[in-house]
Structure 1
Amino acid sequence: MKGWVYTIIGGLCLIVLSLWGTNRNLSKENDRLQGNNDALMEEVVTYMDIADRSAASVQMLELKKCELEKNYQDICQRAKDLGLQVKRLQAASKTETQTKVEIQTIVRDSIVYKDGILDSLKRIEWRDPWVQVEGTLHKDSLDLNVSSVDTLYQFIHRVPHKFWFIKWGTKAIRQEISSSNPHTKIICTEYIELKKKK
């Protein structure tokens, strides 16, 4: 009789452990989905850093591979174009920038020797450490070369829970992006981490 009692108690312990594990997994999945919901509802925060350069802040999305493939085909396609397998990605980030430069420069006469004929052309040149503009004005057209250089700095950091001055754990993961080009404005940014399989 005691053998049956021990078997039933052992079975009940296994059921309790199984239910506890399932509840823990469901709780983690619920936290992930809540964090993703918060991230999707939040607009990208764009601001100027202390050096007056464009910066942006966004909360991380944690997606499964199937969710990434369903909702972010452009990122998946870009990874495939680079010869990367989506299933091997750990994280992906996408940032849109816009570069606007107001240029005021002097138009200079330039003499060129073309097909045995001396010709006079109008030339413009303008540059700063980030943008270079060169152009030639013909009678009815303009040849213009514009080159812009930018470096984007990306920082991933955790935001702790706060209660007054006490900080603990991790409330969210955020990405901060900063541009080094003062002519560049960050329009949009996204940061996605793929959920690790267990």
Structure 2
Amino acid sequence: MSRLNRILLATVLLLCSILWLQHRRTIRLTEERDRFRMNSTALLSDVKRMQIDSATMVLDAKALRLTIDEYKEFRAKDAETIERLGVKIRNLEVAARHEVEVKAPIDAAIRDTLIIRDTVPLLRQKVEMVTPYIQLTGLIENKRLKGDIKVPVTLNQAVWVEYKGWWFWKRVKAIHQSISSDNPYVEIRYSEYIRIQ
């Protein structure tokens, strides 16, 4: 009888361990399915562009969730850049990339100015345009414009989570990022936010 009890106990323990392993596998597959669904939604959804005021442009895009191996495979060039910065990919939590383009009209006044080179005064034409969004200064010499242009811009990024479900059954539906530019001449062409798991 004790042999029968040992066989029964061993069978119960074996069944419990199989049940626990299946439960863990189900949880992992469910998380993988949800991550795949979020990535598909992020890749297929449109990027929202909003003009908040005359100077602030906002771009809203959903975030991708990749494993370290997927990041190395699909974003190899970015991974190389990050490693050159001295960051180990296995320690990476989030990688973001933004592409901006500056397209601004130039309306600068041309004035005569006097410059001194080797104690010799020379008459040249000076170009100058100073606004809160563009600073352009230059000299016209030998039928060429030489100078500097500065386009100051601040990019603000906010990352937020969109949930679905109720109280205890809340689940992450999507992770969004909103990027805004404070310069009306700077267009955010592309933005990418990848969360590493």
Deviations 1:101-130 (A, max 9, x none): 212122100112224433210001111223
Contact 1:98 1:186 in 2 (8 A): yes
Shift of 1:62: 0.8
Mapped pair 1:120 → 2:104 = no
> Using the alignment, how far apart are the partners of 1:103 and 1:188 within structure 2?
25
Partner SS state of residue 107, structure 1: strand
Mapped pair 1:74 → 2:77 = yes
Count matched residues.
192
Mapped pair 1:137 → 2:131 = no
Shift of 1:83: 1.3
Partner SS state of residue 130, structure 1: coil
Contact 2:61 2:191 in 1 (8 A): yes
Gaps of 5+ in 1: none
Alignment of 1:1-198 (within 5 A): 1-50=4-53, 52-161=55-164, 168-195=170-197
Deviations 1:82-116 (A, max 9, x none): 11111111101001111122121221001122244
> Using the alignment, how far apart are the partners of 2:186 and 2:107 within structure 1?
18
Stretch of structure 1 that moved more, 34-43 or 182-191? 34-43
CA RMSD of aligned residues (A): 1.9
> Using the alignment, how far apart are the partners of 1:23 and 1:168 within structure 2?
19
Gaps of 5+ in 2: none
Amino acid aligned to 1:149: P
Q: 1:168 to 1:64 in 2, by over 3 A?
A: closer
Amino acid aligned to 1:190: E
> Using the alignment, how far apart are the partners of 1:183 and 1:9 within structure 2?
70
> Using the alignment, how far apart are the partners of 1:129 and 1:50 within structure 2?
15
Deviations 1:5-47 (A, max 9, x none): 2221221121111111111111111111111111112232222
The ranges of structure 1 where at least 4 consecutive aligned residues each deviate by more than 6 angstroms after the TM superposition are none
Stretch of structure 1 that moved more, 142-151 or 2-11? 2-11
Contact 1:58 1:176 in 2 (8 A): yes
Q: 1:103 to 1:51 in 2, by over 3 A?
A: closer
> Using the alignment, how far apart are the partners of 1:185 and 1:34 within structure 2?
29
> Using the alignment, how far apart are the partners of 1:116 and 1:8 within structure 2?
102
Amino acid aligned to 1:107: I
Shift of 1:81: 2.4
